[in-house]
A and B are shown apart, each in its own frame.
Chain A
């Protein structure tokens, strides 16, 4: 038998958490608005013709690949076609069991090179290094399977340039993506990492690795994710970037200073969230070493990637991502309230713990608890509905705000009906999709808790959006 006081305390607890989370998000929203308006002002100016463009830092584009035979050729083509004065593309085949190695070797006339392999970061053995006889700036590393992080470390070891860019093998970087992402490195010596924005390739028209037309997919799951990504990137990342507290740079598109990454030991291979873990560790180490640094985000450096259209794949992805969040935070626990932690240690990290990491636990527990309280007769049906109403209304508000930021800034989706569809999706995603994703994230949390083993995220690519000539 529960006392009315206890029920009241539970309600109060939910209210406090609810208020904390949502005011955090609304503050992030404000911060993102400021960041966007500042950025748009400078981007407009930097769009003026650059008279001399030979001073960009050279970049190694690292493409870890595991069973990517369907999309790898187009991805490499798009990376070779990037509008950038000096870059090399390093494809790392992480012991694929399909024909990835053969497909790449044949498509780009790769020949084995007796390259001395400098193992600055320890990796699984490298079997061979190939260079293309057609594209001098294309390199292929064939190594034993060791996971994505291990493949990236091998790529870092082989890379020749001071900056490296990580790109997923199923992704397409916008033609000027590298030029835009490198700007912070040119303008500020303290910048050690910069993330780009990830957008959905589903529904777009892409030919031979070049984006021809932006569109929306028909698949409802992909549509929900588009709104979700907008929310995550436009105010999640931009908001934190303003105070140098960005904790995530997506593995699908990030640019890093190689010496900084090598100094902190490269990617960790014992986590499935190696991209986030690296960024959190960079913050932690730089602060421990009293180094001046910046980790930044460029909202118009775009990378187009295929979003899962099947529930099972989406579930696996979200489970893996949340496990990655759990591991990244616990592996860098020292950053939390560290005396030199700054905004990142005292605000962003705790926010990440309470809202992102524990969020799904509290959210699902909240739903279940309210349902149980109602079923046991402690609260009225109408009270239960009010809780649900408030949660859905605030969720919708956040999604719509992200859409507004998009409209105010980048207008990625050109047609008016695109915006209408996205508006409807932003309303609908609160009725089932968000709760489902919260449940998947809870599963990820449980897997982390019970230390289940992870590996490369397995995603079946159809590559329909990516046409060949």
Chain B
């Protein structure tokens, strides 16, 4: 049977052993897969049961009932902490929130989260960071602050979010200090932080910071100023509106287009003849958003621009102007300055009609 093994050349022998080792590994992996699936099913069931028990306990606690629970086991901590955070963040009432925090103290969630912060598994640490932010314990500030300079973006950002949850006023200073160094923080999460801190707290410090920021940071962050008070946003826009960097100016115009005030409109209008097409495109968009009937001539001028994007945006802007009726637009189509403007206006008008 094994004559090839005893008599044949070494190459066949190598093939034979490759096959044997591979099959052994296949068997080992099959066992591992089956074990993993059994473990997965078991864990899922165990978590489901625990989640149900803790959920009804949390709801009972919120309703003022005394609840009895066995101590929190490590294997359900993740499920319970997720459940707690979701319930806490879904509740707006201050009294109920305080009750949730009392619950966390009473049943050891706070202590356990502090311990879990030292875990090696990133997922466990992230959960703990989030929970500690929600628990609102001022003592945890310095612990959380240490994670702000973590090499992993997701950790530093989660720590920042936790600090904002903990004390939004106090979090502004460390946040602004890290805006430059943490350029890879995802934009939606950063905007979320700004929103949570709120325009009242953030407006003045963020505007001051923007006035001192590097050109790269200005380009990256100027669009977020729509989340703060108009007066501070306008202060920054005014300072950079005549910058030599076209991306900064375009950013300013983008921002102004989101502030529906006469002052912002007045700042946008003179830029119709800006040498950069990037800026002129933003001017067209901004006029479409905050402009009025008086801007038709400017937009028609942009509809003849040598750059296609400017023309496209200008035509779309004309159609979106609030106080233009179909007849006005039809007249414009008839007297359109060039073929593109004619076709594009016709298209935009037809689309508006179709969708309406």
State which residues 395-411 of A face B: CB under 8 Å: 396-397, 400-401, 403-404, 407-408, 411
Question: Which stretch, B12-20, B135-143, B204-212, B267-275, touches the partner chain A?
Answer: B12-20
Is B355's CB within 8 Å of the partner chain A?
A: yes
B282 to A: closest C-beta gap in Å: 14
Is B59's CB within 8 Å of the partner chain A?
A: no
Q: CB distance B4 to A118 under 8 Å? A: no
Q: CB distance B158 to A400 under 8 Å? A: no
A130 to B: closest C-beta gap in Å: 9
Q: CB distance A186 to B188 under 8 Å? A: yes
| Interface 0/1 of B22-34, CB less than 8 Å to A | 1101100110111
Chain B, interface residues (CB within 8 Å), range: 35 or more
The residue that A188 contacts in the complex, of B36, B154, B184, B340, with Cβ under 8 A, is B184
Is A419's CB within 8 Å of the partner chain B?
A: yes
B65 to A: closest C-beta gap in Å: 28
List the B side residues contacting A186 at CB < 8 Å: 186-188
Known: A8-B11, A113-B350, A404-B33. A131 touches B23 (CB 8 A): no
Is A2's CB within 8 Å of the partner chain B?
A: no
List the A side residues contacting B14 at CB < 8 Å: 15
A118 to B195, CA, bound (A): 39
Q: Which of B34, B308, B355 has the most CB of A within 10 A?
A: B355
List the B side residues contacting A188 at CB < 8 Å: 184
State which residues 123-169 of A face B: CB under 8 Å: 131-133, 136
Known: A15-B15, A45-B158, A403-B33. A55 touches B123 (CB 8 A): no
Q: CB distance A54 to B191 under 8 Å? A: yes
Q: CB distance A114 to B188 under 8 Å? A: no
The residue that B34 contacts in the complex, of A45, A397, A419, with Cβ under 8 A, is A419
List the B side residues contacting A111 at CB < 8 Å: 350, 354
| Interface 0/1 of B115-126, CB less than 8 Å to A | 000000011001
Q: CB distance A411 to B40 under 8 Å? A: yes
Is B102's CB within 8 Å of the partner chain A?
A: no
| Interface 0/1 of B45-67, CB less than 8 Å to A | 00000000000000000000000
Known: A48-B130, A50-B188. A11 touches B11 (CB 8 A): yes
Is B243's CB within 8 Å of the partner chain A?
A: no
Q: CB distance A52 to B188 under 8 Å? A: yes
Q: CB distance B355 to A116 under 8 Å? A: no
The residue that A407 contacts in the complex, of B19, B23, B37, B189, with Cβ under 8 A, is B37
Is A393's CB within 8 Å of the partner chain B?
A: yes
Q: CB distance A407 to B18 under 8 Å? A: no
Is B70's CB within 8 Å of the partner chain A?
A: no
Q: Which of A45, A46, A54, A387 has the most CB of B within 10 A?
A: A45
Q: CB distance B191 to A11 under 8 Å? A: no
A5 to B130, CA, bound (A): 68
B43 to A: closest C-beta gap in Å: 11
State which residues 243-283 of B face A: CB under 8 Å: none
A2 to B: closest C-beta gap in Å: 15
Q: Which of A8, A383, A403 has the most CB of B within 10 A?
A: A383
Question: Which stretch, B93-101, B288-296, B341-349, touches the partner chain A?
Answer: B341-349
| Interface 0/1 of A1-20, CB less than 8 Å to B | 00000001001100100100
Q: CB distance A113 to B3 under 8 Å? A: no
Known: A116-B347, A400-B26. A45 touches B187 (CB 8 A): no
List the B side residues contacting A420 at CB < 8 Å: 34
A119 to B: closest C-beta gap in Å: 12
List the A side residues contacting B153 at CB < 8 Å: 187
Q: CB distance A52 to B11 under 8 Å? A: no
Known: A41-B123, A396-B26. A116 touches B16 (CB 8 A): no
Q: CB distance B191 to A15 under 8 Å? A: no
| Interface 0/1 of A30-46, CB less than 8 Å to B | 00000000001110111
| Interface 0/1 of A190-212, CB less than 8 Å to B | 00000000000000000000000
Q: CB distance A390 to B347 under 8 Å? A: no
The residue that A113 contacts in the complex, of B11, B154, B184, B347, with Cβ under 8 A, is B347
Is B89's CB within 8 Å of the partner chain A?
A: yes
Q: CB distance A416 to B41 under 8 Å? A: yes
A51 to B351, CA, bound (A): 33
A377 to B: closest C-beta gap in Å: 15
A141 to B324, CA, bound (A): 29
The residue that A114 contacts in the complex, of B18, B32, B343, with Cβ under 8 A, is B343
A342 to B37, CA, bound (A): 40
A40 to B154, CA, bound (A): 12
The residue that B29 contacts in the complex, of A45, A392, A397, with Cβ under 8 A, is A397
A-B pairs with lowest CB-CB distance, top 3: A51-B192, A393-B22, A382-B4
A-B contact pairs, 10 of them (CB 8 A): A11-B12, A15-B14, A113-B350, A114-B350, A133-B354, A136-B351, A186-B187, A394-B18, A400-B30, A411-B40
Residues of chain B having any CB pair with chain A under 8 Å: 3-4, 8-9, 11-12, 14-16, 18-20, 22-23, 25-26, 29-30, 32-34, 36-38, 40-41, 89, 122-123, 126, 130, 153-154, 158, 184, 186-189, 191-196, 308, 340, 343-344, 346-347, 350-351, 354-355
